[in-house]
């Protein structure tokens, strides 16, 4: 343990830490044992930093075979014939599998999370480029790849449809002709809010604005691609699958349903996961192929994707083509919001969201504002592109919703010529209005939006940059300044189980806490870390609630044979749901500890009190008659009170009563080169409010990572296709991810508005920066040109896109003429 932990005098029993309005976040506010609010070093970092992490691809089993998937070069084609004989003739090749082989085991198709049916290996028709057509199983991965190159597939190539709008035209190629009731490429329509009321508000409004914007197709692009090692044990009739999973238990249930193997004979292990970001929530054909191959061949089979396979075939995110409208009074009071969306879902409806929410939580698009009328409509279409629509570091389409409203507020501010900070302030849901019910039916738990905005404005030196912006415009300077704001509100922490589910399983989560006789403890949770730091933060929750030292608690996750059932980690739900379960389980243990303490201290149980500050139990009125949790643990096993069960453990399955609503204000200052369109970040301020903070250092790390991803989104990332359905942005040469060179210095700050319904007042934070930052960045670029009439710039804002906008409104520059060169006669002095 570090010795420099300080006791914060202000940490009270409800963790209602007075908010720190100073420039530096508080470093320590706990009790010195690594509890709530302490910047404990991450327990998991030792193994990651020293190269001792265990990822799926690190697993080696005796006799293990390797799987390589043969993929279609075409986006839309009938498979006429598959000839695997040349591959099968290779010594190292064990088998070539096609849909026909899988049909024999009833494994040819698998359900998507939205209850569509996807081919595991193409049965009749390829529906997107790189779709899985056959699989080669060989003794090593090189031979598997060699074999895959030798599989000959004859295709009858069909016209593809790539664009969602074209897909809905009458003469569009039919993507899903195998479905009896599917006569076009339309998947579903979805509607929210009150259309009549919203139309009325728009008719009566002084001002209305409208803007089209595309949230382009992104890929979560985790550094570790997807993979699995499937191991069918014919002796035990048991299937063990080590796989890159963000939701091991849900995957166990789905695996059992797909394969027919009873669920108690299926074990899913998610070892260390190298980033998920929503990409590892769905089931992919490769997992099923590996399992089927292991079942048939009775040997372990490993399948690990290459980078381009990951980007080209696994769950993409976004691809929402949106039209937003706002209605307002002439002094900037927003009265109504409308949005219409065309969603490209790819070849299957394989979005990863609660099944009752076909458009996810998109109807949070009223954002941080008190808007009386709202209406949204959405149409989803099939196209010959990879399936997806996963929640890339966000809760189910919240990112698209936040982008829409934060962009529209800027459009309105420009239309009315008012300061974008002021128009936000004017329309924020007031802090005293919480809990607040939005026009689309969300129950916001708590918020103080103005406070976060004020703090961000101060940190960003907002007025200074506004003046600098004007000065540059007046001087016709070569570089323009733009200032963008995003005051976002998120909705995270799904369930409640009655509203949210995966394939029918309610979105609760779980924690199982066992205190050992020697006073340390193991906490098992149903969520699965992919870099979020659960092994540290969840231990901190227990340390806080039991007065233990954080180093005495081990957190385990990812193995369905030992962990309690949970729904996994995505949508910033781990702290809101499993974190709550951990706190409640620890409190149950604390209650039982009281009876043991009473026994040990020879007092009545109702006279035993627990002191959060010291972490000890003592007799009321006699603080020196105290006992530690370590002593109590010994008592639980070696001297347990008669009439009670021995041991000291508790389990909690937590179904959240509501979701949580973290928020924040981000301010981005950009400098734009008028000659080239290049955008530089001058300042990047992020003020977040995620309620009570468990580990400020981990939160800051999460914010930094998410902001980097937001910059990637706004500036360079895009999964592109050509008209033939070829993926043209399907590898890291063409799908651009930001590096440290593209990332500016971030200035982070925070406010603390606890969630009133969460056991420790926390809200979840992992996705706030990814959700909140893209509109701030786009608003900044637009802001630099808004006086010239620019209302929108599409992402990704590469230099050419920005320059074309500059040129369109007459802001582009030639290199300066005001330069003079003079040359002295004679020899050059330096040479």
Partner 1 sequence: MKSAPFEHYEPTTTNEATSLLESLDDPTILAGGQSLVPMLRFRLANPDVVVDINGIDSLDYLREEDGYLKLGALARHADVEDSDLIDERYGSFADTAPLVADPQIRNRGTVAGSVAQADPKGDWGSVLLAHEGEIVAEGPDGERVIPADEFFLLPYDTTLGEDELITEVRIPTPEPREGSAYHKLKRKTGDYAMAGVGARLVLDDDGRIETAGIGMTAVDITNAQATDAEQHLEGERPSADLFETAGELAAEASNPESDEHGGADYKERMVDVLAQRALGDAAERAGAVRRKVTQ
Indicate which residues carry an active-site annotation. 246, 393-394, 767
Do the beta carbons of residue 672 and residue 480 sit within 8 Å?
Answer: yes
Q: Which stretch binds partner 1 (CB under 8 A): 124-132, 138-146, 153-161, 169-177?
A: 138-146
In the complex, minimum distance from the CB of residue 802 to partner 1, in angstroms, rounded to a whole number: 10
Site string for partner 1, 262-301 (x = CB under 8 A): ----------------------------------------
Count the site residues for partner 1 by CB under 8 A. Answer: 47
Closer of 24 and 820 to partner 1 (Cβ): 820
Among 3, 60, 624, 821, which residue sits at the site for partner 1 (rule: CB under 8 A)? 821
Site string for partner 1, 140-179 (x = CB under 8 A): -xx--xx--x------------------------------
Residue 615 touching partner 1 (CB under 8 A): no
Residue 675 touching partner 1 (CB under 8 A): yes
Closer of 304 and 752 to partner 1 (Cβ): 304
Crossing angle of the two packed helices 449-460 and 462-474, in degrees rounded to 10: 50
d(CA 720, CA 505): 34
Residue 607 touching partner 1 (CB under 8 A): no
Residue that the structure tokens 């099968």 belong to: 88
d(CA 185, CA 351): 16
Residue 810 touching partner 1 (CB under 8 A): no
Site string for partner 1, 98-137 (x = CB under 8 A): ----------------------------------------
Do the beta carbons of residue 242 and residue 344 sit within 8 Å?
Answer: no
Q: What's the burial of 277, exposed, middle or buried (CB within 10 Å: 0-12/13-18/19+)? A: buried
Cis peptide leading into residue 796 (ω within 30°):
yes
Residue 86 touching partner 1 (CB under 8 A): no
In the complex, minimum distance from the CB of residue 715 to partner 1, in angstroms, rounded to a whole number: 8
Cis peptide leading into residue 227 (ω within 30°):
no
Q: What's the burial of 257, exposed, middle or buried (CB within 10 Å: 0-12/13-18/19+)? A: middle
Do the beta carbons of residue 569 and residue 490 sit within 8 Å?
Answer: no
Residue 745 touching partner 1 (CB under 8 A): no
Site string for partner 1, 713-732 (x = CB under 8 A): --xx---x-------xx---
Closer of 50 and 741 to partner 1 (Cβ): 741
d(CA 480, CA 477): 7
Subset of 306-335 contacting partner 1 (CB under 8 A): 306, 308
Residue 800 touching partner 1 (CB under 8 A): yes
d(CA 540, CA 42): 11
Q: Which stretch binds partner 1 (CB under 8 A): 40-48, 369-377, 508-516, 818-826?
A: 818-826
In the complex, minimum distance from the CB of residue 61 to partner 1, in angstroms, rounded to a whole number: 20
Among 499, 676, 724, 726, which residue sits at the site for partner 1 (rule: CB under 8 A)? 676
Q: Which stretch binds partner 1 (CB under 8 A): 263-271, 590-598, 654-662, 821-829?
A: 821-829
| Coil, strand or helix at 15 | coil
Closer of 2 and 728 to partner 1 (Cβ): 728
Residues in a beta bridge with 553: 521
Residue that the structure tokens 């689309």 belong to: 440
d(CA 538, CA 526): 12
Residues in a beta bridge with 610: 617
Q: Which stretch binds partner 1 (CB under 8 A): 293-301, 325-333, 465-473, 734-742?
A: 734-742
DSSP 817: S
Residue 468 touching partner 1 (CB under 8 A): no
> Cα dist. 57→213, 230, 595, 750 in Å?
40, 12, 48, 39
In the complex, minimum distance from the CB of residue 735 to partner 1, in angstroms, rounded to a whole number: 10
Residue 823 touching partner 1 (CB under 8 A): yes
> Cα dist. 213→165, 321, 388, 776, 796 in Å?
14, 6, 20, 15, 12
Give the H or E element holding residue 339: strand 334-344
Crossing angle of the two packed helices 398-416 and 768-785, in degrees rounded to 10: 30
Residue 475 touching partner 1 (CB under 8 A): no
Among 10, 21, 437, 804, which residue sits at the site for partner 1 (rule: CB under 8 A)? 804
Among residues 701, 683, 773, the alpha carbon closest in space to that of 457 is found at 683
Closer of 143 and 500 to partner 1 (Cβ): 143
Close Cβ partners of 773 (under 8 Å, ≥ 6 residues apart): 486, 666, 668, 686, 706, 707, 710, 711, 713, 714
In the complex, minimum distance from the CB of residue 164 to partner 1, in angstroms, rounded to a whole number: 21
Among 450, 678, 747, 787, which residue sits at the site for partner 1 (rule: CB under 8 A)? 678
The tokens for 615 are 């972490």
Residues that bind partner 1 (CB under 8 A): 141-142, 145-146, 149, 306, 308, 675-678, 715-716, 720, 728-729, 733-734, 736-739, 741-742, 798-800, 803-804, 814-831
């Amino acid at each position: 343990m570090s010795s420099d932990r300080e006791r914060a005098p202000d940490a009270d029993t409800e963790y209602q830490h007075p908010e720190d309005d100073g420039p530096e976040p508080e470093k320590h506010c706990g009790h010195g044992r690594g509890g709530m609010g302490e910047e404990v070093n991450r327990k998991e970092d030792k193994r990651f930093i020293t190269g001792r992490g265990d990822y799926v691809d690190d697993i080696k089993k005796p006799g293990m075979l390797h799987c390589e998937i043969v993929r279609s070069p075409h986006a839309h084609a009938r498979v006429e014939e598959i000839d695997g004989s040349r591959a099968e003739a290779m010594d190292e090749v064990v088998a070539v599998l096609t849909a026909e082989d899988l049909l024999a085991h009833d494994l040819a198709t698998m359900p998507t999370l939205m209850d569509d049916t996807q081919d595991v290996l193409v049965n009749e028709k390829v529906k997107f480029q790189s779709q899985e057509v056959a699989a080669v199983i060989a003794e090593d991965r090189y031979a598997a790849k060699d074999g895959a190159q030798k599989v000959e597939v004859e295709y009858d190539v069909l016209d593809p449809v790539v664009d969602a709008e074209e897909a809905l035209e009458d003469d569009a190629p039919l993507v899903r002709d195998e479905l009896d009731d599917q006569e076009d490429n339309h998947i579903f329509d979805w509607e929210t809010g009150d259309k009549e009321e919203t139309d009325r508000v728009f008719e009566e409004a002084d001002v209305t604005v409208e803007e089209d914007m595309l949230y382009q197709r992104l890929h979560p692009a985790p550094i570790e691609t997807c993979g699995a090692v499937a191991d069918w044990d014919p002796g035990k009739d048991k299937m063990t699958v080590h796989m890159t999973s963000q939701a091991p238990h849900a995957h166990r249930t789905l695996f059992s349903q797909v394969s027919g193997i009873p669920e108690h004979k299926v074990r899913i292990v998610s070892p260390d996961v190298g980033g998920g970001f929503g990409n590892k929530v769905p089931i992919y054909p490769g997992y099923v192929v590996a399992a089927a191959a292991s079942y048939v061949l009775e040997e372990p089979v490993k399948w690990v994707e290459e980078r381009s396979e990951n980007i080209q075939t696994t769950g993409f995110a976004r691809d929402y083509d949106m039209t937003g409208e706002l209605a307002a009074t002439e002094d900037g009071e927003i009265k109504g919001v409308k949005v219409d969306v065309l969603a490209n879902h790819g070849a299957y409806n394989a979005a990863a969201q609660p099944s009752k929410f076909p458009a996810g939580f998109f109807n949070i698009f009223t954002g941080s504002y008190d808007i009386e009328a709202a209406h949204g409509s959405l149409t989803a279409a099939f196209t010959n592109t990879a399936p997806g629509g996963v929640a890339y570091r966000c809760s189910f389409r919240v990112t698209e919703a936040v982008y829409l409203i934060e962009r529209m507020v800027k459009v309105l501010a420009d239309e009315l010529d008012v300061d974008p900070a002021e128009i936000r302030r004017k329309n924020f849901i007031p802090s005293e209005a919480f809990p607040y019910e939005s026009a689309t039916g969300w129950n916001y738990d708590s918020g103080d939006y103005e406070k976060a905005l004020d703090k961000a404005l101060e940190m960003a030196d907002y007025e200074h940059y506004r003046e600098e912006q004007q000065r540059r415009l007046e001087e016709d300077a070569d570089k323009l300044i733009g200032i963008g704001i995003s005051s976002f509100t998120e909705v995270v922490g799904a369930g409640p189980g009655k509203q949210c589910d995966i394939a029918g399983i309610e979105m609760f989560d779980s924690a199982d806490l066992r205190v050992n006789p020697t006073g340390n403890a193991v906490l098992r949770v149903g969520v699965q870390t992919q870099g979020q730091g659960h092994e540290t933060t969840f231990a901190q929750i227990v340390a806080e609630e039991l007065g233990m030292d954080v180093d005495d608690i081990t957190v385990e996750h990812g193995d369905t044979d030992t962990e309690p059932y949970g729904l996994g980690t995505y949508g910033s739900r781990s702290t809101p749901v499993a974190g709550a379960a951990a706190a409640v389980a620890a409190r149950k243990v604390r209650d039982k500890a009281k009876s043991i303490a009473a026994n040990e201290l020879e007092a009545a149980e109702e006279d035993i009190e627990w002191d959060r500050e010291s972490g000890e139990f003592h007799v009321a009125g006699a603080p020196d008659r105290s006992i530690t949790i370590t002593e109590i643990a010994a008592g639980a096993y070696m001297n347990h009170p008669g009439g009670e069960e021995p041991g000291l453990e508790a389990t909690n399955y937590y179904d959240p009563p509501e979701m949580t609503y973290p928020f924040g204000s981000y301010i981005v200052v950009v400098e734009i080169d008028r000659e080239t369109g290049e955008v530089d970040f001058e300042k990047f301020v992020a003020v977040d409010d995620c309620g009570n903070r468990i580990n400020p250092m981990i939160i800051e790390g999460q914010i930094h990572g998410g902001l980097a991803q937001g910059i990637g989104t706004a500036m360079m990332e895009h999964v592109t296709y050509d008209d033939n359905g070829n993926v043209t942005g399907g590898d890291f040469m063409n799908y651009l991810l930001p590096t440290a060179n593209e990332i500016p210095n971030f200035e982070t700050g925070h406010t603390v508005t606890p969630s009133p319904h969460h056991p420790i007042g926390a809200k979840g934070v992992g996705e706030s920066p990814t959700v909140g930052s893209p509109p701030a960045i786009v608003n900044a670029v637009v802001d630099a040109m808004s006086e010239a009439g620019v209302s929108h710039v599409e992402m990704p804002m590469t230099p050419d896109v920005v320059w074309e906008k500059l040129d369109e409104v007459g802001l582009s520059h030639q290199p300066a003429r005001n330069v003079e060169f003079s040359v002295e006669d004679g020899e050059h002095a330096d040479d």
